[in-house]
Structure 1
């Protein structure tokens, strides 16, 4: 096989392409084989196919699957939480929620194979932890939930983040996310509601603690954890679409934030010119 790299034709694909590009090329070849040789087979199984692929290309893979292979049935498995969330979000955006099952494999053995149960995102699992009085687990998961919400706000609004290969802490994400939304959102009512929600998170004794070393959580009551979760969940709902579940994405040229143009009932928020 040959590939064009940097304008040079006829290159070995291993010459200049990254591991992620090579894996993507392999996926393209596999899907081409499916179209050419497996027309009568409706099933495609994809097991952890994006380990080396960056976020933008992962979204392109989702769109390729949902647009070019509409007549196929998929079994997609992964250990990667981000890839799972991307697939899940685009399932909603394409209006395919009634055609997919989201499951967790919680046990596997040679005789019985995988044991599965219905998957629930953190914001649906945490209330059950709170109701059971499990402060440590509920507090830790809410802390991770907050980190995920803040990171998605920063990415979807193009908030300035320092280059950081080790990942970001809540403290590093909180300021950029809050500041970006404050400058962007033109609707005063929504802007003030988001501001007040951030203040509620600030006041929580849980919010500023590291999830893996949370000494003060022992002093927090279950009601403290509940209020913390409710504040984080409210922020999540304010910056995402209740229909397709996607975070509102900033479109600079249009001076707006929108969930998805494919959404049946998209949420659109006007923004200031920055």
Structure 2
């Protein structure tokens, strides 16, 4: 189960941790121990308005643990949802349950110690009191362990009995301590003899409400023909969460029996996102942090889940997405731009225990990195990356424009294989003259890629930086011109009145041809 963890500074114990968040309305909220003067009068260690109904962070560990839980524990996964305060009774209820579970274990040890003393002292178990420490000590002092019957003086208690008495006393102390702690927790929330409820009373209804949406989204993204639909149901008592896959035959089965690990993670993610969407309908702010939740999603579903996020369910949300895989990061960045989802990329460049993380604004796209290299990289590095960037662009355009390319062994193509067909397609099109002129200039100078950037040549070292920068600038310019400035889509083969033309399929650019579909009518 999830556990609440307080902010602590493990690396620098002398410094108290502090986290502050500033909302767009100017208000600040703090969590930690050493508050600045600005925190006076603010709500400390509590929820900001609009952030109480569900956690704002969805992490990889949440998805990993979800299918390992039994139905009862799976329901309790949502214990911190639909709350109005950070110190809600659900946390105390979970602590009480954990303490009661520990109490059951301690009681078993207590009985074992009681039996051990009864065996050592040759007494009936029922005669040894364990209800309270005071009662046990009074009973012990009345026993004749130290003065056998008929003896005139005390003798030393046998070691086996002394040891058994000590063990039992310790178990009675521990049992009493846990009981007192549980009673104190119950008094804290005013629940009397009963433990407070772990879950908000509205959680079962909320989970039932998302069934249809989760089922439709899972079918759309996964495309699994052997799954008719997904069913999310709660027990009549509201303390269990059952999830089933319905097969075409109508049979209900556990998802673990019929789904791959990647599909299971996808389903768990959709359930948690569905709960977040339902909470937003009830007043939760449309803000969420997705902390590396994609890692085990099957690669075939990656584009679909990003479309789901950026274009469908979360298109009007503010999201913070963290990834550890650079390929995933580029895919997220590219997909967000194509779907007109505003995005800012921040990279964790380094971290140290003394200074913490160092963050830099950046872009993971090839053209953005090339533009940045124009300002600071050595000519040979700049030329090499410009040639690589041009080859990547030619590879993409050869597919979107569907140009003719001679097959190569293993489908491994070089710039020499790809660029001529792309250039020919651009020149034959009705694209703007400025784009054609840029492509022409690139064609005249791209030989630099082989002369200077890809291979060592002593005489090529005399090439000026101006020539290299000109080549790199032209590649950057070409990237910009072949991609839509609004959504980032590249020029492609489209059909207008059954005529094949090269244009932007999105229709955002003022091209000379009308927007068409990507397939013939």
Instruction: With the length of structure 2 as denominator, give the TM-score of the two structures.
Output: 0.41
Determine whether 1:103 maps to 2:324.
no
2:486 corresponds to: 243
Q: Distance in 2 between matches of 1:50 and 1:167?
A: 28
Determine whether 1:149 maps to 2:393.
yes
Q: Indicate if the aligned counterparts of 1:5 and 1:17 stay in contact, CA closer than 8 A.
A: no
Q: 2:463 aligns with which of 199, 214, 220?
A: 220
Give the 5 Å matches for 1:201-220.
201-202=445-446, 204-206=447-449, 208=450, 214-216=455-457, 218-220=461-463
Q: Could you tell me which runs of 5 or more consecutive residues in structure 1 were left unpaired when the two chains were aligned.
A: none
Aligned-pair Cα RMSD in Å:
4.3
Tell me by how many angstroms 1:169 deviates. Answer: 3.4
Closer/same/farther in 2, CA of residues 94 and 122 from structure 1, 3 Å limit: closer
CA deviations over 1:28-58 (Å, ceiling 9, x no partner):
344334335787363131416167424xx54
Q: Distance in 2 between matches of 1:164 and 1:253?
A: 35
Give the 5 Å matches for 1:106-125.
106-109=349-352, 113-120=356-363, 121-125=365-369
Closer/same/farther in 2, CA of residues 221 and 15 from structure 1, 3 Å limit: farther
Secondary structure at 1:226's aligned position in 2?
Answer: helix
Determine whether 1:5 maps to 2:248.
no
Secondary structure at 2:347's aligned position in 1?
Answer: strand
Q: Distance in 1 between matches of 2:335 and 2:486?
A: 12
Q: Indicate if the aligned counterparts of 2:426 and 2:436 stay in contact, CA closer than 8 A.
A: no
Q: Distance in 1 between matches of 2:484 and 2:328?
A: 19
1:28 corresponds to: 270
Q: Distance in 1 between matches of 2:387 and 2:293?
A: 27
Q: Distance in 2 between matches of 1:191 and 1:266?
A: 12
Tell me by how many angstroms 1:154 deviates. Answer: 2.1
CA deviations over 1:75-124 (Å, ceiling 9, x no partner):
21235555434433444445443xx3211111134565532111045544
Closer/same/farther in 2, CA of residues 249 and 14 from structure 1, 3 Å limit: farther
Q: Indicate if the aligned counterparts of 1:50 and 1:58 stay in contact, CA closer than 8 A.
A: no
Give the 5 Å matches for 1:1-274.
4-5=225-226, 9=248, 24-36=266-278, 40=284, 42-47=287-292, 49=294, 52-54=298-300, 57-66=301-310, 67-97=312-342, 100-109=343-352, 113-120=356-363, 121-126=365-370, 129-132=373-376, 134-159=378-403, 162=407, 168-183=413-428, 185-187=429-431, 189=433, 192-193=436-437, 196-202=440-446, 204-206=447-449, 208=450, 214-216=455-457, 218-252=461-495, 255-256=500-501, 257-258=503-504, 260-261=506-507, 265-270=508-513
Q: Indicate if the aligned counterparts of 2:494 and 2:505 stay in contact, CA closer than 8 A.
A: no
Q: Distance in 1 between matches of 2:349 and 2:490?
A: 28
Q: Indicate if the aligned counterparts of 1:147 and 1:170 stay in contact, CA closer than 8 A.
A: yes
Secondary structure at 2:468's aligned position in 1?
Answer: helix
Q: Distance in 1 between matches of 2:436 and 2:314?
A: 44
Q: Distance in 2 between matches of 1:269 and 1:82?
A: 35
Q: Could you tell me which runs of 5 or more consecutive residues in structure 2 were left unpaired when the two chains were aligned.
A: 1-66, 68-214, 216-223, 229-246, 515-519
Q: Distance in 1 between matches of 2:420 and 2:257?
A: 42
Tell me by how many angstroms 1:252 deviates. Answer: 3.0
Tell me by how many angstroms 1:138 deviates. Answer: 1.4
Q: When the two structures are aligned, how many residues end up with a matched partner?
A: 262
Instruction: With the length of structure 1 as denominator, give the TM-score of the two structures.
Output: 0.70
Q: Indicate if the aligned counterparts of 2:383 and 2:468 stay in contact, CA closer than 8 A.
A: yes
Q: Distance in 2 between matches of 1:219 and 1:249?
A: 39
Tell me by how many angstroms 1:178 deviates. Answer: 2.8
- Which structure has more relative contact order (CA 8 Å, sep 6+)? It is 1
CA deviations over 1:9-32 (Å, ceiling 9, x no partner):
368878897776565445434433
